[in-house]
Chain A
């Protein structure tokens, strides 16, 4: 029996990664974890401890690990590659593209250390470009779960999906948004709050912040719809179009560079199907810096206040 966390609890998605890995190791034997000496950092450590025969250790050599994952997938095993965002989505990006995505290998990449959520490690570790780099590769499903529970719901789904998938793992404790009865479907957004004035389409840690901003705005009489866009690619076009048609504008919110990620994906959809006024909450094309995960959002304009301000500008 898989234990989920309680809504409102602060939980690191890394803990969810470790928990679901152990659970799925008991459930099915058709996958292995590929690690590059960072299982302690990604959250995979419980699997290494409890199911060492399900882990292929590569040492600190991510390019080899990523290309090897393509070979592992050729044998019918599903490789779940796990490392930090900067290594998985940039250092070994070409290996992912050429040895995994191009031959349509059934491989999964799960990266921790993405966004300002990384905190004190600073800019080199704060991968703010992963949604852009991975979204640009043909045929890749890109997922950014909102919380620990959604991550655990999504993991078995990506194992069942035939083809390459990239999924974010958060690092810092963030509020649990979804209860144990949440369902996850690739390409399907979740409307977490109904509203009619403006829509916030958020992903990852920004979903909780968007809900907080919506609460503040409600007190001022502004009705904010909040959509959790956990799948960045393929994006839920119907939900984007509904937001464009039914509300006065769309605010996108992501712990990522404003270029190339969720905001761009939503804009691409809206521009073609129902142009809408938009505001982009994200890191404004700059590198991060050291600081606590709950200090950096205010400095870089991705906290609940930034979402609030963007909504106000649209109405």
Chain B
């Protein structure tokens, strides 16, 4: 198995190729989750790309669905479908929808309308518990998800029901669509707030694959509590002209030169 950081880097390169090919998409928030996806899909999760509907697979939901270009290419890299399908991002003749749709092999839940991912993951965990299955459910949340009341409803209930098969990874990249999170609706210390609802909370560098892996493995050992991992990230991570720059939240079109510059930088990372 190749190094997880290398896999994440490949996700970033393919993600930008997809957004370039699609002529629109959200690069900033896609780049910030690449390391999480590498760790989840290439190490932590129990899955079988040849059987995407296997009932006892671990589940994954990208609640911040606009970051799907990274998810699609990660699924392709993992063998769910050919990379050319992921590169048909937002195209009429493919299944790489602008936001995740269960019509794509490996997509467990629709998302894109913020705030619904954690609830869907909670439902999967509740169903698994009812059926006596021990699969785990992972949900990546963005800053926007945590501004939606629906997410907090799910946080309350998951803690109350002690859903220890449920893990939320919060991609704290600090920029949202129109302005910094701190300007639009400051979320404060999200981890501390979530902890008060009965979650086990961990803080990691969201670009350190070893730290992410350690946190996700620790989550497996926690009983009686769901785990919330606050992943400190940089929007646009890996491409110097995108890092921390609001413009690259998207939905944006990348020029050929911008793609070439970004890929060059990532290939030499």
- B113 and A77 within 8 A (CB): no
Residue of B nearest to A79 (CB): B123
Residues of A close to B116: CB separation below 8 A: 63, 67, 70, 95, 98-99
Residue of B nearest to A97 (CB): B113
- B124 and A95 within 8 A (CB): no
Residues of B close to A68: CB separation below 8 A: 119-120, 122-123, 126, 154, 157
- A103 and B123 within 8 A (CB): no
How far apart sit A59 and B158, CA to CA, in the bound complex (Å)? 12
A64 at the interface (CB under 8 A from B): yes
For the complex formed, measure the closest distance between the CB of B166 and the CB atoms of chain A, giving whole angstroms.
10
Residues of A close to B123: CB separation below 8 A: 67-74, 79
Interface of A is mostly: helix
* Residue from B113, B121, B160 within 8 A of A94 (CB atoms): B113
- B120 and A71 within 8 A (CB): yes
A51 at the interface (CB under 8 A from B): no
- Near A by CB (< 8 A), chain B positions 209-249 give none
For the complex formed, measure the closest distance between the CB of A80 and the CB atoms of chain B, giving whole angstroms.
13
Beyond A70-B123, A71-B123, A71-B126, is A63–B156 a contact (Cβ under 8 Å)?
Answer: no
* Residue from B112, B119, B133, B156 within 8 A of A71 (CB atoms): B119
Residues of B close to A79: CB separation below 8 A: 123
- A64 and B150 within 8 A (CB): yes
For the complex formed, measure the closest distance between the CB of B59 and the CB atoms of chain A, giving whole angstroms.
7
A49 at the interface (CB under 8 A from B): no
Beyond A74-B109, A103-B102, is A64–B153 a contact (Cβ under 8 Å)?
Answer: yes
* Residue from A56, A58, A99 within 8 A of B109 (CB atoms): A99
Residues of A close to B113: CB separation below 8 A: 94, 98
* Residue from B102, B112, B124 within 8 A of A75 (CB atoms): B124
Number of interface residues of A (CB under 8 A): 28
B110 at the interface (CB under 8 A from A): yes
Residues of B close to A102: CB separation below 8 A: 101, 110
Interface of B is mostly: helix
- B130 and A74 within 8 A (CB): no
Residues of A close to B133: CB separation below 8 A: 75
Residues of A close to B180: CB separation below 8 A: none
B149 at the interface (CB under 8 A from A): yes
B82 at the interface (CB under 8 A from A): no
| 0/1 interface trace, chain A 136-176, chain B, CB 8 Å (1 if under) | 00000000000000000000000000000000000000000
For the complex formed, measure the closest distance between the CB of B164 and the CB atoms of chain A, giving whole angstroms.
16
| 0/1 interface trace, chain A 70-91, chain B, CB 8 Å (1 if under) | 1111111101000000000000
B94 at the interface (CB under 8 A from A): no
B79 at the interface (CB under 8 A from A): no
A309 at the interface (CB under 8 A from B): no
- A76 and B127 within 8 A (CB): yes
- A76 and B131 within 8 A (CB): yes
B49 at the interface (CB under 8 A from A): no
Known A-B contacts: A59-B156, A70-B120. Give 19 more (CB < 8 A): A56-B126, A61-B153, A64-B150, A64-B154, A67-B116, A68-B119, A68-B122, A71-B124, A72-B130, A74-B120, A75-B124, A75-B130, A75-B131, A75-B133, A77-B130, A79-B123, A98-B110, A103-B109, A103-B110
Q: Pick 11 A–B contacts, CB within 8 A, sort by A.
A: A66-B119, A67-B123, A67-B154, A70-B109, A70-B123, A71-B119, A71-B137, A74-B127, A75-B127, A95-B150, A98-B112
Q: Which residues of B pack against A, CB within 8 Å?
A: 55, 59, 101-102, 108-110, 112-113, 115-116, 119-128, 130-131, 133, 137, 149-150, 153-154, 156-157, 160
